[in-house]
Amino acid sequence: MKLLKYILLIVIISLGNQIGYGQAKHDYIWVFGSDAEPLEGAEGSVIQFTETDLSIRYQMLPYEIGSTNASISDDDGNLLFYTNACQIYNADYQLMENGDGLNPGAFDSRCQFGDYSTPQNALILPDPGNISGYFLFHKTIIYDTLNSEIVQPHLLYSYVDFSKNPLGVVIEKNVKLDTALFSSAYIEAIPQPDSKSWWLIDFTRDREGSRYLAYSITESGITKIHDQPIQNSESLSYDCEISGQTCFTPDGKMMAKYCPNTGLDLWDFDRMTGEISNYRHVPIEAELFGICGLAISPNSRFAYVSSVDVLWQVDLEEEDLSEGIVMIDTLDIENDPLWSNFAYQQLGPDCKIYMTTVNQYKYLHVINNPNEKGVACDFRQHGIELPYKNQIISLPNFPYFRIDEDMVCDPSIVSHIKPIPQYSADKLSIYPNPTSGELTIQLPKIISGQLAVRNVTGKVMLTQELDFTQEVLLDLYDFDPGLYLLEVISAPGERYVERVVLH
């Protein structure tokens, strides 16, 4: 009987852990998108994590996603919305109701390229006071003619509500939360000990030095708690704020900030009060100027610093941090003619660290075992190939949603990524287009492979095997009117795409 009770207790604890881990999948979908050549609109890639695996799929998008990229999913890992800091898009990858017109001003002309030019400068957090509401924090940019520089004078928020529309509605937009000379790439957040409220942190620079800001987000609203001077003012210069990154250790005990011009800064962090203390500095500076990044291993021991063409690991358990610096790898220039760079980083739900690049590139670098010391961390350049090239330095910005659960991430998630077909410049001849249902497709050559028709959300509506054919007849009379993507992938891996309008 005692043995039976013991087994039952173990089962209950195990189920409790699984349920606990399943309650915070807000970072389970990552959306990337770039200009669609030669098509109109945008070609996108979606990385989707589940409880068991990771997959990557192609996705049609209405617009590009540039250097500012943020998204959020529901508790089950289903996409709710994403943004490029110009517009907010819903789970159907379409403009959300009232979702346009973010960050109005002189620089909103950049939105025609899907890039508001403020890297890592948006963050989405659940509202502790409304289970159906979400805050999107973002910042405007203006040109300061007096000092001849680009500045960000306002921290804003927009508010998305799902209580009356399953696809969401933007009910507040561009609301000023604070005014100061804000930095760009350093905004970050971390849950408070109750795992419901949040600390939103940022940095400002003024003529007298640098300051650390902490806002408490609770059921009662948003309150600024700290506004204090910090060390290393140079790390908040304009060059730094467009090229650096900040993050917390996954155990919530330290906050780190990196600038390629000045090195790595570390503070102890108090999740109860939001205070920082015990400043340390690690002199890792990039020999070349460029976009860099920072991430910390799931066990909170190792910081990874990407400094343009070198990846460093810092052992945070060393009493003298400078003695814990290890060079992990240098950029493989010989096999990387585009000079893809080591740029921003993000810890994934699968306990791997993903790193973006500076050029419009189809690859992400990956640290497979970040909890391991030295080269055992298994860093792979170009470790993941996306279905379409990523916009410059675009990487979603997520806080740690599972910081108080048994695991901040799940190493059992397995990647099932297949080789991605290469796009062919040859075009398909489609007629009539627009069509009322009947469609003739002329392939550029005799092809064996597969044809697929997708709707605007990327869902496959029809597939057909091709067996040494050059002409295909399709019947789309049962399809709803709208825009569809016709995709042909040949047996050797060539990919042909065209868009079809059904009226």
DSSP single-letter state for residue 18: H
* pLDDT for residue 74: 96
Q: What is the CATH number of domain 24-415?
A: 2.130.10.10
Instruction: For residues 372 and 365, give the distance between their C-alpha atoms in angstroms, rounded to a whole number.
Output: 17
Residue 455 CA to chain centroid, in angstroms? 24
Q: Could you list the pLDDT tens digit for every one of the 503 residues in the chain?
A: 444 444 443 333 343 433 333 468 999 999 998 776 655 667 889 999 998 999 998 888 888 888 889 999 999 999 999 999 999 999 999 999 999 999 888 777 778 777 777 788 899 999 999 999 999 999 888 776 666 666 778 899 999 999 999 999 999 999 999 988 887 778 999 999 998 999 999 998 876 678 899 999 999 999 999 998 988 777 777 667 778 899 999 999 999 999 888 899 999 999 999 999 999 999 887 776 678 899 999 999 999 999 888 899 999 999 999 999 999 998 876 666 566 789 999 999 999 999 998 877 788 999 999 999 999 999 998 888 888 778 778 899 999 999 999 889 999 998 766 544 555 556 789 999 999 989 999 999 999 988 988 776 557 789 899 999 999 999 999 998 888 878 888 887 777 878 788 88
Instruction: For residues 155 and 140, give the distance between their C-alpha atoms in angstroms, rounded to a whole number.
Output: 7
* pLDDT for residue 11: 39
* pLDDT for residue 145: 66
Could you give the 3-state DSSP secondary structure of residue 375? Answer: helix
Query: DSSP per residue over 193-251, as a string?
Result: TTSSSEEEEEEEEETTEEEEEEEEEETTEEEEEEEEEES-GGGGSHHHHTT-EEEE-TT
Q: Structural domain boundaries of the chain?
A: 24-415, 422-502
Q: Tell me which residue of 308, 313, 253 sits closest to 282, measured CA to CA.
A: 313
Instruction: For residues 401 and 23, give the distance between their C-alpha atoms in angstroms, rounded to a whole number.
Output: 9
Backbone angles phi, psi at 464, to 5 degrees: -150, 130
CATH class name, domain 422-502: mainly beta
What one-letter code names the amino acid at 364? L
498 Cβ partners below 8 Å, 6+ apart?
39, 427, 428, 430, 485, 486
Backbone angles phi, psi at 16, to 5 degrees: -60, -40
**Is residue 193 reached through a cis peptide bond, with omega within 30 degrees of 0 on the bond before it?**
no
Q: What is the pTM of this model?
A: 0.81
